[in-house]
Structure 1
């Protein structure tokens, strides 16, 4: 049974921390761009960002974890590199933006660590949770939306993309299946996590995401004044 968490004390009433999650190739980057456009249209101050990344430390770690295929990075090393990036991300990006009353929309956060390093790399989930809690300083998103596609469909989308696959994206089918199973199980047990069907056109998926936000936060995502939009990472 899922229990909803209380909001972080550092947030202003108008701010929300929203995370888009899911396996590689499900369309998170596209949806964040569409979501930013919608938030801008309704005049909601917001910031879009990604993990690992968003800070100089985070971007350097991102290059090591995802870009350096020549390095033999073990599961535990990978975990702690990602969590080091997260600690900087929370301190230097997320908390300041929320304190300013902005909505933060992130491409990945803690759920990715549980799905990829816990389920995918098969590290002990309790240990992963404990380490992650330290890195994020207790901060939790208001809502995580997991874009879900069968592993083979997301793989096919990825093959059609223009970007070269990174170190983790090159993992095989078994790894991808474990990651997806992790997301599905976490969506059943973690607070403030919802699945979104990622099949269909980008516009159809965007409408599903928008509907979830309007249902969860009635009155927050409505028309306002001038837009303050930022992108970090």
Structure 2
């Protein structure tokens, strides 16, 4: 398949801390490689460009001593996202490349919407203003119990400002993720509480069903 013959596809991996997003991304990339999609562009949010990475440092740093207003956090996330989409993701897709992203818009709707309590219509208004109708072709939500996920995250090292939130924040975020996944057919859920082998099997089955038709 010629990647330049048509617009590329944008696949996003979502989930709480410790949900296994990195493993999922590797599984997606390996699947694409086996089916002729070489070297997809990989991104992360917040971040992904020099400017967006500076915003990431600001929004996630545990050294920030002043309270960060939820609205400030939301706007910083969208500033970073807009820079990434406009300068990296959209140009890649237009050139026929596939993009695999570590987080995208769904994160803001879950974390700043569910976790912080910002109404979804306000988030949607900002999203429309900066990204118009740009959306992923497929979002894979790695669902995990917050306690389990945070335990895994702690095992990786120091936690960032958002990861240091109380458990209730992550429970609200997870609830919102699940609610959004149920209402959007482009969001597919994987049970990340299971063993690595079982999670990988779920991912491979999902990719065979959702992505394989795009590769014909």
Deviation at 1:194, TM superposition (A): 1.4
- Displacement of 1:51: 0.5
User: Which of 86, 103, 113 is matched with 2:81 structurally?
Assistant: 86
Distance in 1 (alpha carbons) for counterparts of 2:35 and 2:211: 14
Within 2, Cα distance between the matches of 1:209 and 1:142? 16
- Alignment partner, residue 156 of structure 1: 151
Gaps of 5+ in 2: none
Residue 102 and residue 78 in structure 1: after superposition, are their counterparts in 2 closer, same or farther (change >3 A)? Answer: same
Structure 1 stretch 166-175 or stretch 135-144: which is displaced more?
135-144
TM-score by length of 1: 0.84
Q: Residue 217 in 1 paired to residue 207 in 2?
A: no
Note the residue ranges of structure 1 that are not aligned, 5 or more in a row.
1-10, 223-233
Q: Aligned pair count?
A: 211
- 1:102 equivalent in alignment to 2:90: no
TM norm structure 2: 0.90
Following superposition, the deviation at residue 100 of structure 1 comes to: 1.5
Task: Tell me: higher relative CO, structure 1 or 2? Use CA pairs within 8 A at least 6 residues apart.
Answer: 1
Q: Give the C-alpha shift of residue 137 in structure 1.
A: 2.8
> What is the CA distance between 1:94 and its match in structure 2?
0.7
Per the TM alignment, residue 95 of structure 1 is displaced from its structure 2 partner at its CA by 0.6
| Structure 1 pair 49–20 and aligned structure 2 pair: CA distance change class (3 A) | same
Aligned residue in 1 for 2:15: 22
> Alignment RMSD, CA only?
1.9
Are 1:184 and 2:197 an aligned pair?
A: no
Residue 47 of structure 2 corresponds to residue 43 of structure 1: no
Inter-CA distance 26–135: structure 2 relative to 1 (3 Å threshold): same
Are positions 1:171 and 2:165 aligned together?
yes
TM-fit CA distance, 1:173? 0.6
- Select the structure that is richer in helix: 2
Which residue in the other structure is 2:202 paired with?
208
**Segment drifting more, 149-158 vs 37-46:** 37-46
1:28-77 Cα deviation digits (max 9, x unpaired): 12221232233233330311111011111110100001125324321010
Give the stretch that moved more between structures: 60-69 or 176-185: 60-69
The residue that corresponds to 2:121 in the other structure is: 126
CA distance in 1 between partners of 2:11 and 2:86 (Å): 16
* Residues 28 and 207 in structure 2, CA contact (< 8 A), matched pair in contact too: no
Q: Distance in 2 between matches of 1:140 and 1:218?
A: 20
Greater shift, 31-40 or 18-27, is seen at 31-40
Cα gap change, 1:77/1:103 in structure 2, threshold over 3 Å: closer, same or farther? same
Per-residue CA deviation, residues 184-210 of structure 1 (Å, 9 max, x unaligned), is: 100111241111111233343233222
